[in-house]
A = this chain, B = another copy of it.
Amino acid sequence: MGAYPQSVIKLINEFGKMPGIGQKTAERLACYILKLPVEEAMQLAYTIRDVKKLVKICSVCFNISENELCQICTDANRDKSKICVIEQVPDLLVIEKTGTYRGLYHILQGHISPLDGVTPESLTIEKLLRRVKEDHVREVIMAMNLNMEGDTTALYLYKQLHASGVQITRLARGLPTGSYLEYASTAIVADAINCRSEMMP
């Protein structure tokens, strides 16, 4: 990259650190910044600064928020008897987009993975157990990712919560809408058979 000035090489490297951004894309993004009017480029720089200055973690559910409590925890219209447990913040948005869930959330900030040094203690599980005990929660919905780590985490939580008498549910497993049986994996089809439901035409 000898032909680029030092500051541009640095910008390419900074962009290159971002997830899913390779060398080529990083160069394209740097060239985009070079072409931008100064005010617009500075807008991006200022916004990064603002996010790091303003965004905190909700003290109840660990969602991101500009206040002590997040928008969902402070929303009087949400059903406070349900907690949907997710691994990370983007998962919350995916569920919110469906518009089918009106309860609260709890962000674990990861999943149990002993090989990566992630023990139950390094997640927000203790706080979840306290919420269930103290906040009159009636249902906890397990919405971890559908892989081994997610399943392990859900099983661990189930064992911790079981004695409290709270209802414990998990997201439905089956064939994704729009898919073809022919191309589905054995595990998915097995789930779809095991979890089949009464047809109501």
**A residues neighboring B (CB under 8 Å):** 1-8, 10-11, 14-15, 18-21, 25, 27-34, 36, 38, 41-52, 54-55, 63-66, 70-72, 88-90, 92-93, 96
Once A5-B54, A66-B5 are accepted as A-B contacts, the answer to whether A44 and B34 lie under 8 Å apart by CB is no
Q: Can you identify 9 A-B contacts, CB atoms within 8 angstroms?
A: A5-B64, A8-B51, A20-B25, A34-B55, A38-B52, A41-B51, A42-B49, A44-B45, A45-B46
Contacts of A70 in B (CB 8 A): 5
How near does chain B come to A1, taking the closest CB pair, in angstroms?
7
Query: Do A14 and B47 touch across chains, with their CB atoms under 8 A apart?
Result: yes
Query: Do B64 and A48 touch across chains, with their CB atoms under 8 A apart?
Result: no
Query: Do A71 and B38 touch across chains, with their CB atoms under 8 A apart?
Result: no
A68 to B159, CA, bound (A): 68
Query: Do B45 and A49 touch across chains, with their CB atoms under 8 A apart?
Result: yes
Say what secondary structure dominates the interface of chain A.
Answer: helix
Contacts of A64 in B (CB 8 A): 4-5, 8, 34
Closest to A10 in B: B47
Contacts of A29 in B (CB 8 A): 18-19, 21
Query: Do B7 and A51 touch across chains, with their CB atoms under 8 A apart?
Result: yes
Query: Do A41 and B52 touch across chains, with their CB atoms under 8 A apart?
Result: yes
Once A44-B48, A89-B31 are accepted as A-B contacts, the answer to whether A66 and B19 lie under 8 Å apart by CB is no
Contacts of A93 in B (CB 8 A): 1, 3-4, 27
Contacts of A2 in B (CB 8 A): 71, 96
Query: Do A96 and B14 touch across chains, with their CB atoms under 8 A apart?
Result: no
Once A3-B92, A52-B33, A92-B3 are accepted as A-B contacts, the answer to whether A43 and B14 lie under 8 Å apart by CB is yes
Query: Do B33 and A42 touch across chains, with their CB atoms under 8 A apart?
Result: no
Query: Do B71 and A31 touch across chains, with their CB atoms under 8 A apart?
Result: no
A71 to B90, CA, bound (A): 44
Question: CB within 8 A of A50: which of B10, B25, B72?
Answer: B10
